Amino acid sequence: MTQAQVEIQLLAMATAVACSLCGVFLVLRRMTLLSDAISHTVLIGIVVAFFLTGDMASPWLLVGATTAGVFTVLMVESLQKTGVVREDAAIGLVFPALFSIAVLLISIYSKNIHLDMDAVLVGKIALTPLPSRRLEIGGYDFGPKSLALMMAIIIVNLGFIIMFFKELKVSTFDPAFSKAIGFNPYWIHLGLVLSVSTTAVASFDAVGSILVVALMAAPAATAYLLTDKLSIMLVWSCIIGMLSAVLGYWLAHILDASIAGSMSTVAGIIFGFAFFFAPERGLFSVWHRAKTRDRKFKLALLLVHLTQHEGTIREEEECNIESLHLHLRWDEYEAHSVAFEAVETFCATKENKVLRLTPKGRIIALESLQIGTNLS
Partner 1 sequence: MTRPHDKKMEFALEINDLTVSYKDKPVLWDIDLEIPQGALVGIVGPNGAGKTTLIKSILGLLKPVAGSAKILGLEIDQGIKKIAYVPQRGSVDWDFPATVFDVVQMGTYGKLGWLRRPGSNEKKLTKDALEKVGMLELAHRQISQLSGGQQQRVFLARALVQHAEIYLMDEPFQGVDSTTEQSIVELLRELRNQGATALVVHHDLQTVKDYFDWVVLLNVRKIAAGPVSEVFTETNLKLAFGSRVSLGE
Binding residues (CB under 8 A) for partner 1: these are: 28, 163-167, 169-170, 172-174, 176-177, 179-183, 224, 227-230, 232-233
Q: How many CB atoms lie within 10 A of CB 177?
A: 12
* Centroid of chain to Cα 135: 34
Query: Which amino acid appears at position 174 of this protein?
Result: D
Nearer to partner 1, 39 or 227 (CB): 227
Smallest distance from partner 1 to CB 194, Å: 17
For residues 201 and 65, the answer to whether their CB atoms sit within 8 Å is: yes
Nearer to partner 1, 33 or 121 (CB): 33
Nearer to partner 1, 51 or 177 (CB): 177
Give the residue from 249, 246, 240, 227 showing the smallest Cα distance to 267. Answer: 240
Smallest distance from partner 1 to CB 94, Å: 24
Tell me the C-alpha distance between 307 and 59, whole Å.
Answer: 79
Nearer to partner 1, 177 or 284 (CB): 177
Nearer to partner 1, 164 or 275 (CB): 164
Give the residue from 219, 193, 171 showing the smallest Cα distance to 69. Answer: 193
Sorted by sequence, the CB contacts under 8 Å of residue 226 that are 6+ apart come out as 233, 236, 274, 278, 279, 281
Smallest distance from partner 1 to CB 83, Å: 9
Q: Residue 351: what are its φ and ψ, rounded to 5°? A: -120, 110
Smallest distance from partner 1 to CB 22, Å: 16
Smallest distance from partner 1 to CB 263, Å: 25
